Structure 1
């Protein structure tokens, strides 16, 4: 379930409290660290979700954690993507220019060929005229071949650069939508897939189920075994969700909450998937690596809502979140899904 702090309107109040966190957690007041704390106090949901458990323990917040959050949620990746896109557009323009030059070279050779043929028609076809015409054609052909070789070299170099820029742009876009701990999608990844689901519902009448999966009593794992163990549990849950739902977009919304979008509007099918997830974790005991200490079973609560025709991003999520609360209030380790309406 999403955790939020009270959002403050005064930048001075935000800055003062952010500096208080810098001191409390003994993190160096570097620009990136300070910005994470500022955004946390300001109320940025992604950062709150990732820090909400850690801030309960002074020793659980590390500089590495804050730097990762800064890279993921504070660095303006759009600027990087804009630069890459601009470079790609520039290189594509260069590529077009090379192709146009090659076409011009072909047109020039064609004109010279026409001119040579016309000269033979206008003058007697003596051996001297034929030899002169042949020499002109040979010279034009050699010039054109040199131009083509140069243009092909430029074309290959430009094509390689375009491919490299495209790959870099794709990697950049993938990185900004990936949760660094689990390698699942992050909140941005979730937003993109929600938008895609809304579009599919409008254009192809293909509806989906949104499942919100939240670990039960996760705080007790951190308190009892430490946050390193908690991170390992989060990674384990992420890997098993990927195994259980291999064809569904899965995102980590922060902390111990995950979102799964099932490309189905069948209540029975969605219920079966949710029940399988709950049952799998409830029946699989875990042990702490190294000490072999028993961690017990990881129980989860799941709330799910079916995408409706009049839904938007918020209404779809809010209903699933409400059902997740109902699953928690029902005693946890349970599933609550809505029927189609």
Structure 2
């Protein structure tokens, strides 16, 4: 698994080391590239997880990779969401104003009709007064109809804007939580679903199993076949995990590590799922596309922890991570799940 860099306290030290990475990897010191290196040295976990396996090979770090990391982890996406939210709130206010205008128009028509009726009641009705009253009521009704048609047009336009803004906001939020290589959830997605699992455990007594999955000897694949091949292996693993666990929350934590949240706290079910995952990859040989060169079978280790009543997100993750290391130390290509409740 990726090794974290030591976090620096001095911004000057961070900046100096970040510039050192810019020079070492011959990446242009553009604002976005520099910020990724700065955050890497600073100790941002998501960036460390995605870069640590690559920095071992000078040729493995590309500008495209750094730009993708900047877009996912550094770009101020929150500002985009804030702008969209503000626009949505503004349009909702406009909707409310349109509806209030329609209600006021209806009240005005009612008042004018009441006034006409009172006029007829206060004096003996004559043909002229009845005609004048009818004309006034007709004029008020026509005015009301014109107002309603105008307001309906405004209402439809405003509703369309609201729907478009809601769609854009949802897409923006989804993009923030998506790993660009695999289209799985990223660390933000993982943290969100951890919080949801904790909430479900408290409100509905629904506990879950957290499985951490790490590929064995993944560095060997990168070193032997290249990082492009390594990326394809990561994408393949992601797609198969989605197929094997269709009803679970799956995230790529970075590098070659994945997290699966099973919506079950049954030890036997979690064990069967983890064993099925390990066995599937261990029994499926892969070939390099194009050349047909044999890549061998993908071996992986899995550690799993059941959510406990006194857990928070950190304690739950730490237990699963320790079990993952136990699976690694047991010879890899193995599964370690806690049985205790």
Q: Please tell me whether residue 123 in structure 1 is matched to residue 123 in structure 2.
A: yes
Q: CA deviation at 1:125?
A: 1.3
Displacement after TM superposition at 1:79 (Å): 1.2
Query: Hey, what's the Cα distance between the residues in 2 that align with 1:153 and 1:44?
Result: 50
How far has the Cα of 1:76 moved from its partner? 1.6
Q: Secondary structure at the match of 2:304?
A: strand
Q: Any unmatched runs of 5+ in structure 2?
A: none
Alignment check: 8 A CA contact 1:278 1:333 kept:
yes
**Cα distance, 1:124 vs structure 2:** 1.4
Question: TM-score by structure 1 length?
Answer: 0.99
Q: Could you list the runs of 5+ residues in structure 1 that have no partner in the other structure?
A: none
Contact 1:213–1:258 (8 Å) recurs in 2: yes
Equivalences for residues 140-159 of structure 1 within 5 A:
140-159=140-159
Paired positions, count: 341
Partners of 1:340 and 1:135 in 2: CA distance: 84
Distance in 2, matches of 1:219 and 1:302, equals: 18
Q: 1:289: how far off? A: 0.1
Aligned residue number for residue 205 of structure 2: 205
CA distance in 1, matches of 2:97, 2:105: 12
1:291 aligns with 2:291: yes
Equivalent position of 1:194 in the other structure? 194
Where in structure 2 are the equivalents of 1:209-220 lying within 5 Å? Answer: 209-220=209-220
Q: Report the counterpart of residue 112 of structure 1 in structure 2.
A: 112
Distance 2:66 2:55 in 1: 12
Tell me how far apart the structure 1 counterparts of residues 339 and 82 of structure 2 sit (CA, whole Å): 43
2:91 aligned partner: 91
SS in structure 2 of the partner of residue 246 of structure 1: coil
Query: How far off is 1:340 after superposition?
Result: 3.0
Q: What is the distance in 1 between the residues matched to 2:139 and 2:43?
A: 73
SS at the partner of 1:56? coil
1:4 counterpart = 2:4:
yes
- Counterpart CA distance in 1 for 2:146 and 2:71 is 49
- TM-score, reference length from structure 2: 0.99
**2:183 corresponds to:** 183
**Distance (Å, rounded) in 2 between the aligned partners of 1:266 and 1:152:** 55
Partner of 1:76: 76
Q: CA deviation at 1:201?
A: 0.6
In the other structure, the counterpart of 2:101 is 101
| Deviation of the 1:95 alpha carbon | 0.3
Which secondary structure state, in structure 2, belongs to the residue aligned with residue 212 of structure 1? Answer: strand
The answer to whether the 8 Å contact 2:7/2:43 transfers is yes
Question: Which residue in 2 is equivalent to 1:39?
Answer: 39
- For the 8 Å contact 1:265–1:340, the answer to whether it is kept is no
Paired position in structure 2 for 1:340: 340
Shift of 1:78: 1.2
Stretch deviating more after TM superposition (287-296 or 114-123)? 114-123
Q: 301-310 vs 118-127, which deviates more?
A: 118-127
User: How well do the aligned residues superpose, as a CA RMSD in angstroms?
Assistant: 0.6
Q: Is the 8 A contact 2:2 2:52 kept in 1?
A: no
Aligned mates of 1:13, 1:24 — CA distance in 2: 16
2:2–2:53 Cα contact (<8 Å) kept: no
Quick one: distance in 1 between partners of 2:74 and 2:339?
39
Q: CA offset at residue 2 of structure 1?
A: 4.8
Question: CA deviation digits over 1:140-172, x for unaligned, max 9?
Answer: 011111111111111001000000110000000
The question of 1:59 aligning with 2:55 is answered no
Q: Could you list the runs of 4 or more consecutive aligned residues of structure 1 that deviate by over 4 angstroms after TM superposition?
A: none
- Three-state SS of the structure 2 residue aligned to 1:94 is helix
Partner of 2:19: helix, strand, or coil?
A: helix
Residue equivalent to 2:241: 241
Q: Distance in 1 between matches of 2:276 and 2:53?
A: 27
Measure, in 1, the Cα distance between the counterparts of 2:289 and 2:75. Answer: 35
Distance 1:173 1:2 in 2: 27
